[in-house]
Chain A
Amino acid sequence: MSLAMQQPDHDAHPFSVAARQFILLVGKDLKIEARGRQTIGLVTVLGLLIVVVLGLGLGGGTAGGFGATAVLWVAYLFSGVLCFEKTMAVERSESALAALMLTPVGRGTIYLAKLTSNLALIATVALVITPAGVLFFSFDLSPAPFAFAAVMTLGIIGFAAIGTLFAAVVSSTRLQGGLLAMMIFPVTLPLVIASTQLLLDRFVKGLPIGVNGLGILVAFDAIFLTASWLMFELVLEP
């Protein structure tokens, strides 16, 4: 049996090591998703169904901007929860997470990599759901398309930050199926309310979205990201 010694690279700077590990983990997640396309297909269909069902219930184009932003958020939230569950299930399957936790990869790096993978998936889904919702509700984005994109992007980042943390918590318990949504939704409610209010002000009342408005969302994101990054080490169990 060949057991030639393989020296680990001890000389590299810790930041560059963490960055390399981060890229490896995100690449691994995206490669697994690209190969199976299990999450993206399922989540996109779910998002579209939510938009259509709620759109029909609310009267489609007559619901206007209020209906569109509310329904899009509902679609993002439920699609996102499914994303978080699926990407964490990859780690739980065959106890791969235990092997990962035995490597020198920091828990913070694992969190940031998982968050990035989740954001990539949600962004892909949002690229399909959002145009569908806009068309279904005849929602005129032309007055401020970039403001809409900025508010939704900031909202989704905060939501994914919390979702990635809670997915790790829930995946280590036997109480899955629905528990994740019950944990995430109340915590992200302030973020959802703030972003919906900003969009209503802009698209229904015609008020501009100021720096202060976006600042609130940035503050939420910063708090959620920092708290989740710090807590991830405490909640991650093999």
Chain B
Amino acid sequence: MAVRAENLVKTLDERPVLNQIDLSIAAGEYVVILGINGAGKTTLLKILSTLMPPTSGGLQLFGLSVPKQAARARARLGMIGHQSMLYRDLTARENLELFARLYGVQSPRQRAEELLATVGMIDRADDAVKTFSRGMSQRVSIARALVHEPDLVLADEPFAGLDVPGSAAVERLLEDLHIAGKTIVMVNHDVGQSLRLAQRVVVLSGGMVAIDQPARITDAPAILAELGGAEMRYEPESFAVC
């Protein structure tokens, strides 16, 4: 089991953000977490990433108890955020080599080269990240998250701010990771896109799990009904919750 969360509770400023979350994710699953703003999606992802401790409840990543074995668990996860999580003044190559060395990856230079080629950024490898478009930064960010070969990839709104080609490129990269056997947990706003990409949909509402079922038997209207009150934007192949 990649993730096992039991009775997770998170309170921020005495306000409950997550309430009794139970979530089990098998290794190799592609799970998307949906919910309106403030539903607790990002907070849940931060807790799963070990960056934020829960107020109460238990969490295990690949059988490793968090926070007790958080350091070992971190070595098996990679995170993609809506910010690039890169050093803007360093080049793409320098960023990847730095993180590869910090993770103790053997042949960091070769690994950086390989990942830059994978995400289609080898031509811009020696340019500073601050000169990149949002889509380019996001592709390098994905490369950074994969530099140590994580088994679990957490993605917090990886498509935010991307244009259509950029979004498609990131979609393909995530799909390739899934095919390669990685576990993917993604927070997303686009219902249609999420149902198309993921195997399983978890909908958070008021800090609780409102829907947790396979994507193939879930339809967008049911999710949107659960998210009652959310404004809906309809596009030919996607519903987005704003």
B-contacting residues, A1-57, CB 8 Å: 1-10, 12, 17, 20-21, 24-25, 28, 31-32, 35-36
A-contacting residues, B1-52, CB 8 Å: 46, 49-52
Q: Contact at B51–A98, with CB atoms within 8 Å?
A: yes
Complex Cα distance A90/B93, Å? 18
Q: Point out the residues of chain B lying under 8 angstroms from A2, CB to CB.
A: 114, 117-118
Task: Say yes or no: is B79 at the interface (Cβ < 8 Å to chain A).
Answer: yes
Q: Point out the residues of chain B lying under 8 angstroms from A10, CB to CB.
A: 104
Q: Point out the residues of chain B lying under 8 angstroms from A102, CB to CB.
A: 49-51, 74, 77-79
Instruction: Determine how close the nearest CB of chain B comes to the CB of A9; give it in whole angstroms.
Output: 4
Stretch of B94-102, B198-206, B216-224 that contacts chain A: B94-102
Task: Say yes or no: is A213 at the interface (Cβ < 8 Å to chain B).
Answer: no
Q: Contact at B118–A95, with CB atoms within 8 Å?
A: no
Instruction: Determine how close the nearest CB of chain A comes to the CB of B50; give it in whole angstroms.
Output: 8
Q: Contact at A6–B107, with CB atoms within 8 Å?
A: yes
Complex Cα distance A111/B70, Å? 19
Q: Contact at B89–A94, with CB atoms within 8 Å?
A: no
Q: Contact at B102–A21, with CB atoms within 8 Å?
A: yes
Q: Contact at A96–B87, with CB atoms within 8 Å?
A: yes
Q: Point out the residues of chain B lying under 8 angstroms from A20, CB to CB.
A: 101
Task: Say yes or no: is B126 at the interface (Cβ < 8 Å to chain A).
Answer: no
Q: Point out the residues of chain B lying under 8 angstroms from A94, CB to CB.
A: 83-88, 129, 137
Q: Point out the residues of chain B lying under 8 angstroms from A127, CB to CB.
A: none
Which of A32, A95, A104 touches B71 (beta carbons < 8 Å)? A104
Complex Cα distance A99/B173, Å? 19
Q: Point out the residues of chain B lying under 8 angstroms from A6, CB to CB.
A: 100, 105-107, 111, 147-149
Q: Contact at A99–B79, with CB atoms within 8 Å?
A: yes
Q: Nearest A residue to B85 by beta-carbon distance?
A: A99
Question: Given known contacts A9-B106, A104-B74, is B83 in contact with A95 (CB within 8 Å)?
Answer: yes
- Among B79, B89, B176, B180, chain A packs the most CB atoms within 10 A around the CB of B89
Q: Contact at B104–A8, with CB atoms within 8 Å?
A: yes
Task: Say yes or no: is B75 at the interface (Cβ < 8 Å to chain A).
Answer: yes
Complex Cα distance A103/B76, Å? 10
Complex Cα distance A95/B102, Å? 17
How many of A's residues come within 8 Å of B, CB to CB?
35
Q: Point out the residues of chain A lying under 8 angstroms from B74, CB to CB.
A: 102-104
- Among A8, A31, A36, chain B packs the most CB atoms within 10 A around the CB of A8
Complex Cα distance A98/B46, Å? 10
Q: Contact at B86–A96, with CB atoms within 8 Å?
A: yes
Task: Say yes or no: is B177 at the interface (Cβ < 8 Å to chain A).
Answer: yes
Complex Cα distance A96/B79, Å? 11
Q: Point out the residues of chain B lying under 8 angstroms from A93, CB to CB.
A: 87-88
Task: Say yes or no: is B160 at the interface (Cβ < 8 Å to chain A).
Answer: no
Task: Say yes or no: is B81 at the interface (Cβ < 8 Å to chain A).
Answer: yes
Task: Say yes or no: is A64 at the interface (Cβ < 8 Å to chain B).
Answer: no
Instruction: Determine how close the nearest CB of chain B comes to the CB of A156; give it in whole angstroms.
Output: 26
Q: Contact at B89–A35, with CB atoms within 8 Å?
A: yes
Q: Contact at B88–A24, with CB atoms within 8 Å?
A: no
Q: Contact at A104–B81, with CB atoms within 8 Å?
A: no
Question: A-B pairs with the 3 shortest C-beta distances?
Answer: A99-B85, A8-B104, A1-B176
Q: Which residues of A contact B (CB under 8 A)?
A: 1-10, 12, 17, 20-21, 24-25, 28, 31-32, 35-36, 90, 93-96, 98-105, 238
Further contacts, 19 of them, CB under 8 A, given A32-B90, A103-B74: A1-B173, A3-B146, A3-B180, A7-B106, A8-B75, A9-B104, A24-B98, A24-B102, A25-B102, A28-B90, A31-B94, A94-B86, A94-B88, A95-B84, A96-B85, A96-B87, A99-B99, A102-B79, A238-B51
Listed A/B pairs (21) with beta-carbon separation below 8 Å: A1-B176, A1-B177, A3-B149, A3-B180, A5-B149, A8-B103, A8-B105, A9-B106, A21-B102, A32-B87, A32-B89, A35-B89, A94-B86, A94-B129, A98-B51, A99-B86, A100-B102, A103-B102, A103-B103, A104-B71, A238-B46
